[in-house]
Chains A and B, each alone.
Chain A
């Protein structure tokens, strides 16, 4: 059935903090992509997305992001998801003054 379906995770931003969050197997949220539920079946992925999107008081902007399975769990396939996972580049989040003084 799932011919060449790229594995997915359900992700979005937490309503209150705006953080990047991922759906876990037990219907929780994690900030750690490696602990997210990896979805390998297209129909199941759509169901999980609908379930998650219904939780409007917890998550904003829910979507399915491509991942690949890694030794420690799902990993991003695109650099945008890599930045979402890891936050701004290290140099971009260090306030200016500490770089200069």
Chain B
């Protein structure tokens, strides 16, 4: 893992010192709320529906046991004993008091964490594939370049007052687990003639005007990467609409000007930025890369795994559903579900965080990841240790075997917490998960991604869910719109709206009818929900949702 340099530590300490003084001045009345608000947002502090919310960055989703344990401590000491992991690899604390926030930030700094640029019109936390450094299909580890971008973008003087927020993601494998196409700028690591480079996408984003990112450059070599990104952000910084916040994101700039114009402006600006770069970023990148040297993976027999797999059906089901292929022999990537049936998606208690920290330290080379699906990943685990890990997870409600299944639902906090929400998300997710658990159909249904947002800002990524659910306020009533056919991977697609929305008491039966239609129409168990939708289109699903006769039959 990357360790802070003296410069990093001093920088974060200075920012925390400044923020402590700003909080004191606000409480003393020397700063108005209008003056204070941009300052607190620069440090990740929001005011939500019922309380403040502190959003802490987990850069490229990577943390160690000590850091996870510190998050547990913060939740216990200054919050209500839990935290919420988000789709952008952050953790949110829902109940901090204003006076405590400077202490929380100092506690984070002690373990090399911060909340800088987790809000505001800046370059946000750079996200990456949560399987980075472990995945069997990886071309190169995306974390060193994500760290390089973090250092370059933090407090970048040109980019502190952007037209709007700017989100960057990096994928290191052809299988995209970082939702790159939904980012303002995305890098996909590629190899050409033996050299590593980057395919650069721009203009992706969900929200009120969802768009899939487009390739602006199919191969940027390492030495050109920072000047190239600086050119892209610089061009948008000048062109981006500051007159209308709904038209300020780069996706709208791209849409209004067209790719040809944007590309040629970027190329022109790149000549200048390239010349201005001293080249220091190349040796810096090499130094960062050294910090991400993979651990040495032990060669041991996996017989303990095989015995448990044969003997214990609960373990077998979990192993079949929650493990992913590791690049090293005898190893696995463990996906720990934070989606126990009926639980709040992405929430973990302090006790659970500590269990995860312990397991990572004891069995997992001290590494943890947060996934874009709001789960926790143990990237490097030897299979022989899996029975013990499973037993420990199970005793803390962390062994639900549902990764990628109907109950592994992505959901934003919605109106239970968020001031922007127009409807609730969490109870809808809980009810769907509980219902399909009762039906005992989860494994029969197979791969199915449901994503729920409580407003059009789409923090729950509903546009790219196989089934997307969007909560709206229609004349003072919570109403849920459904989209079908979204895809968050390398074959990214936006879902299509089915038609009129459903009330809060109608949405769960509606989802059940959709899944019923899939089971009825699929071409064998091998065909996933998304494949069936792509083959048949909207008609059978629409009929299941809205056709009165099929509704009666389903009830």
Where the two chains meet, the residues of A that have a C-beta atom closer than 8 Å to any C-beta of B are: 13, 15-20, 56-57, 60-61, 77-80, 83-84, 87-89, 91-101
Contact = CB atoms under 8 A, between A and B. Distances in A.
B547 to A, nearest CB: 30
Which 10 residue pairs across A and B have the least CB separation, nearest first?
A100-B397, A88-B416, A18-B51, A92-B416, A96-B343, A18-B52, A92-B426, A95-B349, A95-B82, A97-B349
B359 to A, nearest CB: 15
A99 to B, nearest CB: 5
A27 to B, nearest CB: 18
Give the residue among A17, A19, A99, A100 with the most B Cβ atoms within 10 A. Answer: A100
Contacts of B81: 95
B426 A96 contact: no
A17 B342 contact: no
Interface residues of B, number: 43
A19 B50 contact: yes
Contacts, number: 104
Contacts of B51: 13, 17-19
B426 A56 contact: no
A78 B33 contact: no
B107 to A, nearest CB: 19
B98 A15 contact: yes
Contact of B27 (A57, A87, A93): A57
A100 B95 CA distance: 23
Interface in B90-128: 95, 97-99
Interface of B: 26-29, 32-33, 47-52, 80-82, 95, 97-99, 338, 340, 342-344, 347-349, 351-352, 395-397, 415-417, 424, 426-427, 430, 473, 476-478
Contacts of A77: 476
B397 A101 contact: yes
A87 B50 contact: yes
A100 B343 contact: yes
Contact of A84 (B49, B343, B347): B49
A92 B80 CA distance: 13
A78 B422 CA distance: 11
Contacts of B426: 88-89, 91-92
A61 B32 CA distance: 12
B29 A97 contact: no
B344 A15 contact: no
Contact of B415 (A80, A95, A101): A80
B27 A17 contact: no
B235 to A, nearest CB: 36
A61 B47 contact: yes
A97 B340 CA distance: 9
A95 B397 CA distance: 11
Given A92-B416, A95-B349, A16 B47 contact: no
A64 to B, nearest CB: 16
A97 B347 CA distance: 9
B32 A16 contact: no
B73 to A, nearest CB: 15
A83 B49 contact: yes
A91 B430 contact: yes
Contacts of B26: 15
Contact of A95 (B97, B347, B430, B478): B347
Give the residue among A19, A88, A89 with the most B Cβ atoms within 10 A. Answer: A88
Contact of B33 (A18, A19, A56): A56
B29 A57 contact: yes
A20 B52 CA distance: 11
Nearest to A85: B50
A20 B417 CA distance: 12
Contact of B82 (A19, A57, A84, A96): A96
Nearest to A94: B344
A79 B471 CA distance: 13
Contacts of A89: 416, 424, 426-427
A68 B348 CA distance: 38
Contacts of A100: 340, 343, 397
B421 to A, nearest CB: 8
A96 B49 contact: no
A84 B50 contact: yes
A16 B340 contact: no
